[in-house]
A = this chain, B = another copy of it.
């Protein structure tokens, strides 16, 4: 998509499999068109990475394998033992994915052995704080109404050898990893270890990152819900900013490396005057900096709403250089840095700054209806992929099609906003902020 900064070279998009698919699918679909019965997805069906012609850019090579049910699959339902694990921060829709996986394994393919690991990858280690749970359709019946994940989650990598030992010990031949960037790295390590052992275990990832920063993937579940609640928080900031003399509303949102939540919530609310994202270099002080802009807006309009992604402007923040359990570098709190800087600079002229951090309210929300539908599609295609013996892949989306993306391709980088894109132009148009907020943007 033109809105993101694509990698310059297309990676290998070939999907791995455990072996030849020689089991007829039990799904009773069709291979004919117009017979009123849905078709299997041919195994050679692919969608182009770049569907555009004549747009002035070189045509990007390559295509993604399409997801969907295969006519010939690898596993028989009654030999499958599947595990599900949810990792990383909470995100709307995790329960919808769990539920749809269990139902589709059970009712679609006749799988009867499904377990859920508790609290992320640590649940696959002997040190698991809680034992795994046995899953059934009854158990997941109403969980889509709940926020969070019934399995629990945690951050943090674990040694692949140890986790694969657990899979062996439990006799699993299928592992579904629901998570973001770090989780996909973990899944890739598990996949590599399995391959090293020449084991017959499929590893399939489902992209969950509220930041929507996974590469080769248009959309992650929960993002739509997150944007809608973030827009509500921005509305509150706007009310607070306009309700006080020289009012400033400052909202901190999710976005460690990519500003998609911040940018989209800005476009949804239309009440933001300054959007700061990790992709955008900015000064705090100085002629072009944030403080100068806020001062000018207070002078001319009497109020100002600023939205900042948690990962923006990290050069302005002191950190300890450490990393969290997920391997994420500790981020300093740019929200508090801006809060203190604006207060320090402008309090003398009169100022009423209100700071809002809705992160956990957003993360804990249940999925909205668009995400609920999307979660169902992702989960079902993840099940189809694993049953077909596909492995080492993430189920992604591209041009509204569901795809199989090799984990090795996913973990090569992160999707970020291109400042060149019309998407970012829309944000700048909506806020009225200057294109340039740093004396020397290149230096940042």
Q: Which residues of A contact B (CB under 8 A)?
A: 1, 29-31, 33-39, 41-42, 44-48, 51-57, 63, 66, 68-69, 90, 99, 104, 107-108, 118-119, 122, 129-130, 144-149, 152-154, 218, 224, 227-228, 231-233, 235-237, 239-240, 242-246, 249, 264-265, 267-270, 302, 350, 352, 354-358, 360-361, 363-365, 368-370, 372-373, 376-377, 380, 399-401, 419-422, 424-426, 429-430, 435, 441
Contact = CB atoms under 8 A, between A and B. Distances in A.
Nearest to A238: B364
A54 B44 contact: yes
Nearest to A242: B148
Contacts of A368: 228, 368
Contacts of A129: 245-246, 350
A403 to B, nearest CB: 11
A42 B30 contact: no
* Shortest beta-carbon contacts, A-B, top 10: A45-B55, A268-B369, A38-B425, A236-B364, A51-B51, A239-B364, A148-B243, A148-B239, A228-B369, A44-B54
A426 B368 CA distance: 18
Contacts of A239: 90, 146-148, 364
Contacts of A244: 119, 152-154
B235 A364 contact: yes
Contacts of A29: 425
Given A36-B420, A399-B51, A420-B35, A236 B45 contact: no
Contact of A370 (B69, B228, B376): B228
Nearest to A90: B243
A355 B425 CA distance: 34
Contacts of A31: 56
B47 A52 contact: yes
B52 A369 contact: no
Given A55-B42, A268-B372, A360-B237, A145 B148 contact: no
A66 B50 CA distance: 13
